[in-house]
Structure 1
Amino acid sequence: MTPLDALLAFGAGLVVAVVTTPVGVSGAVFLLPVQFDLLGVPSPAVTPTNLLYNVVATPGALLRHHRTGALGGPLARRLVAGTLPGVVAGTLVRVLLAPGDRVFRVLAAALLLGVGTWLCLRGRARPAPRRAVRGGVLTGLGAVVGLIGGLYGIGGGSLLGPILVGAGMTVAVVAPAALAATFVTSVAGVATYGLLSLVVDGPVGPDWVTGLCCGAGGLLGGYLGARLQPHVPEAALRVLLGLLAIGLAVTYLVRAAAA
């Protein structure tokens, strides 16, 4: 990696984390095109590289939330109980069934399109009435999100945050728990990919330099984003993220069709 590439990776992680952390999203899903197309990380190594970004980046935001006392409560534990086994399953599917570039672009486009549409709809809709979500439902949701996270290299916050807020939970409660689940499942995902790289041929393990550079920017950006959370207009931010995700999805589909 050249110094310019390292600076690009750091800057991308910083900007993405500042914008996405206030709504409980690490931003890994938005780094996919940077790592995949600009930095040349091959498939499927781009997935564990993205998870490595989460491992390095999220502690900054978690430290800020811990200092404010926002990490308390059972929500994070219930989510992690589902996301941990889910991310291991998703890792196996990614390496054994969908390792190719074209398939990955189509799958990533489907994820981005769904997340983007959801964010835009929730950004414009009125806040949902607050209601309790059962522990079993939270764990099951975590398992599904963990599976998707293992496939795409995201910790799951980009899905958990919008879903839980849409169910009536507040961003102040959801954001710290979603980021905590992202961190724990990303550690498990990187470890699983690392073990698979010992027995599977091809670029399966993470690109450590790229992941660490992106993560270093995300570490600083995540802390700053957590500090900005009380001052960010939530609806506008959701719409902005949604439009960005939809644009990236269209780009991936076009490139997959041309491949």
Structure 2
Amino acid sequence: MYFPTAGIEVRPWLPPLVAFGISLFTSMGGVSGAFLLLPFQVSVLHFDSPAVSATNHIFNIVAIPSGVYRYVREGRMVWPLTWAVVIGTLPGVVAGAFIRIRYLPDPAMFKRFAALVLLYIAVRLFRDIWKKKDKKPVAVSMEGEDVVREATLGLRSISYLYRGTKYCVSTASIMTLSLIVGIIGGVYGIGGGAIIAPFFVSFFGLPVYTVAGAALMGTLLTSVAGVTIFEILAPVYPDMAVAPDWKLGILFGLGGFVGMYCGARLQRFVPARLIKTILALCILFTSGRYLGLF
């Protein structure tokens, strides 16, 4: 099958199969997998125009709803945190899309930027892996204290109750972080969930069971904004592939939709440390390749 926007010819079963494999694995860690899907498009499919970032957003739009549905159904979606992330991220996504088209259209420059983003994610994962093991977590259920309660969003703080503990974070801090992540995500085409989730856990001390849903939902909504911006800017740059390749993005998204749902169901049977270690090594290898280290 030929994809005119991407300028590549690929067997139609390959994109959904690759996206399924990536999402099946990464969704166990609470992220969509877009940060690994983009290197596959650039390095394997040789799709390296600005349109690849927009196409990656399409993947997020199609794939993420299955994961979000699971968190909403289990009562672990912290809506005030989600809206704060969205409000902070949206301006960043707009700026990031413009930066990608205006200043990083060259594949070599974009690969260097992507390498730095991937290197950051790998470092965060390794730091989390090397931390001392916490006490054995309480088994997750859909009842009682495993449900988020009393969630509020104020001008100064966001708070909610989970497992008998009240969590409170600065609204301004969350929005500032989201703005920075939005710029990076807008350039790279990942929505930012893979970057913002580790910050929520490490710096703000929020439980991972309540962070993943907000990060995924924020990624979904900001990806919609990202695609819209790329479509609007496309006519301004008629000599450059800017708009997403919808057919390719949807094929990736369909595989990701199934992969995320299956990954969420299988998560409890796979050690989290093993998942993070393999993810970190894969990301580190890709970053090194983009930097020309090997």
TM-score range, shorter chain: over 0.9
Cα deviations across residues 101-147 of structure 1 (Å, max 9, x unaligned)?
00001000111111111111112213689964311111111111110
- 1:142-195 Cα offsets, whole Å, 9 max, x none, are 111110000001011110111112122222111111000000000000010011
1:152 aligns with 2:188: yes
2:246 is aligned with 1:240: no
- The 2-side partners of 1:82 and 1:127 are apart by 32
Shift of 1:93: 0.7
Q: Which residue of 2 aligns with 1:213?
A: 251
Gaps of 5+ in 2: 3-8, 136-164
Kindly indicate whether residue 174 of structure 2 is the aligned counterpart of residue 166 of structure 1.
no
5 Å matches for 1:192-231? 192-201=229-238, 202-231=240-269
**Separation in 2, partners of 1:153, 1:225:** 22
1:191 corresponds to 2:228: yes
Cα distance in 2 for residues equivalent to 1:254 and 1:112: 14
1:5 correspondence with 2:11 = yes
Q: Based on CA coordinates, which of the two structures has the bigger radius of gyration?
A: 2
* Cα displacement (A) at 1:4: 5.3
TM-score, normalised via structure 1 length: 0.92
Residue 73 and residue 231 in structure 1: after superposition, are their counterparts in 2 closer, same or farther (change >3 A)? farther
Decide which moves more: 26-35 or 70-79: 70-79
**How far apart are the structure 1 equivalents of 2:28 and 2:95?**
29
Q: Deviations over 1:207-255 (max 9, x none)?
A: 1121111111001111112223344322222222111111000111229
Pick the aligned partner of 2:21 from 1, 15, 24. Answer: 15
Relative to structure 1, is the Cα distance of residues 169 and 128 closer, same or farther in structure 2, using a 3 angstrom cutoff? farther
Higher strand share: 2
Larger helix share, 1 or 2:
1
Alignment correspondent of 2:216:
179
Does the aligned pair in 1 maintain the 2:78–2:210 contact within 8 Å?
no
After superposition, residues 54-203 of structure 1 pair within 5 angstroms as: 54-126=60-132, 132-167=168-203, 168-201=205-238, 202-203=240-241
Letter in 2 for 1:242: A
Asked if 1 retains the 8 angstrom alpha-carbon contact of 2:27 and 2:33, the reply is: yes
Q: Which sections of structure 1, spanning at least 5 residues, go unmatched? A: none
8 Å CA contact 1:51–1:190 kept in 2: the answer is yes
CA distance in 1, matches of 2:284, 2:48: 23
After alignment, is 119-128 or 28-37 more displaced? 119-128
CA distance in 2, matches of 1:46, 1:146: 17
CA distance in 1, matches of 2:10, 2:51: 21
Which residue of the partner structure matches residue 154 of structure 2? none
**Distance in 1, Cα, partners of 2:220 & 2:55:** 14
Which residue is 2:289 aligned to? 251
Q: Which amino acid letter does the alignment assign opposite residue 100 of structure 1? A: D
Q: Between Structure 1 and Structure 2, how many residues are aligned? A: 256
Whether the 8 Å CA contact 1:5–1:39 is kept in 2: the answer is no
Q: 1:133 aligns to what SS in structure 2?
A: strand
Distance 1:23 1:156 in 2: 14
Task: Give me the CA root mean square deviation.
Answer: 2.1
